[in-house]
Structure 1
Amino acid sequence: MSGPNILLTRIDNRLIHGQVGVTWTNHLGANLVVVANNKVAEDEVQQNLMDMVLPDTVQSRYFTLQKTIDVIHKASPRQKIFLVVKDVQDALALREGGVPIDNLNIGNMHYEEGKKQISSTVSVDEKDIAAFKRLDELDVKLDLRGVPSERGQNILDLL
């Protein structure tokens, strides 16, 4: 049996919003958005708000990181999965847990105290940089880009 049909994994600290729910989902042809985040998996109100921006043809699932690791391999081949995580540590935990992440789109990582801004939408600290380097060692393609029409660049070139 082949692995799950993960079209793309995206880091976006906003998780599902217009850009993710419409632009990326349509571009990829995804019919399922899986949000892997421990906090949101327990927050039905936030889930309902995020579901409002998804087209009717796209389903959503909100799983903890561990549940994602446990169930992603049971996905039907018909499920064209767009996997969304909040930060690079979550992406690394999933990859190290056996989730087949080959391509990682880095969309949004907001600035906060102690982080340096490396693009208009991405700020990182030493912990983030170490996680990106580890993902690179695991042969994950690291593509920084906000929307599909932008030209992506390897985030390691900016660190």
Structure 2
Amino acid sequence: MDITVIRVDDRLIHGQVVFGWTQALGIEQILVADDATAANPTQRDLLLLAVPTGVVADVLSIDDAAKVIAASTSRIPTMVLVKGPRELQTLKRAGVPMTEVNVGNVHTGPGRRRLTKEVHATGEEIAIWRELAAEGVQLEALWLPGQTRTDLGKLVAQLAD
């Protein structure tokens, strides 16, 4: 599978993904890797309604997505989407190769610390970001193509606990 970008965005398929990223990167396929969404037919179907004409999309469990990625010989430019750092870590542990990850939007909430304008994390999630960065995954916080990138790996390494 020709993975053009792996993106962390808790909204999964939405306007920025559809209009910003797919057009800027020439994405022809979107693969959502999320256990909860894959198990909920209503949520799955609602997400797929947002997919633009000409783009193929599917919503799979993380394990099934890893298997599809491993078995695929497709050269179609693909975006892989996950909701958060835990899901990203699970995908990596399932064998999906990743050297660079785009971190888009991870919402705020109780117990969540602001890392960038769009990225918030719990202490556990910061530890996951650190672990992924230590394993060589380049984490770039970038909301839309063409905006200024933030090196999220460097940022979380410098945070005081």
Q: Is contact 2:31-2:78 (8 Å) kept?
A: yes
Deviation at 1:148, TM superposition (A): 0.5
Match of 1:15 among 12, 16, 28: 12
In the other structure, the counterpart of 2:45 is 48
Partner of 1:124: 121
- Residue in structure 2 matched with residue 156 of structure 1 by the alignment: 153
The alignment status of 1:146 with 2:135, answered yes or no, reads: no
Which residue number in structure 2 is paired with residue 93 of structure 1?
90
- How many Å separate the matches in 1 of 2:63 and 2:149? 30
CA distance in 1, matches of 2:140, 2:27: 19
Q: CA deviation at 1:143?
A: 0.3
CA RMSD of aligned residues (A): 1.3
- State yes or no: 1:66 paired with 2:63: yes
Return the offset for 1:15.
0.6
Structure 2 residue runs without a partner (length 5+): 157-161
Moved over 6 A (4+): none
Do the aligned residues in 1 keep the contact of 2:140 with 2:153 (CA within 8 Å)? no
Q: CA deviation at 1:127?
A: 0.9
Q: What residue in structure 1 maps to residue 159 of structure 2?
A: none
Amino acid at match of 2:9: D
How far residue 144 of structure 1 moved from its aligned partner, in angstroms, is 0.3
Report the TM-score, using the length of structure 1 for normalisation: 0.92
Equivalent pairs, count: 156
Residue identity matched to 1:36: A
Displacement after TM superposition at 1:51 (Å): 2.1
Q: Which letter does structure 1 place at the counterpart of 2:152?
A: I
Instruction: Letter of the 2:17 partner, please give it.
Output: V
5+ residue gaps, structure 1: none
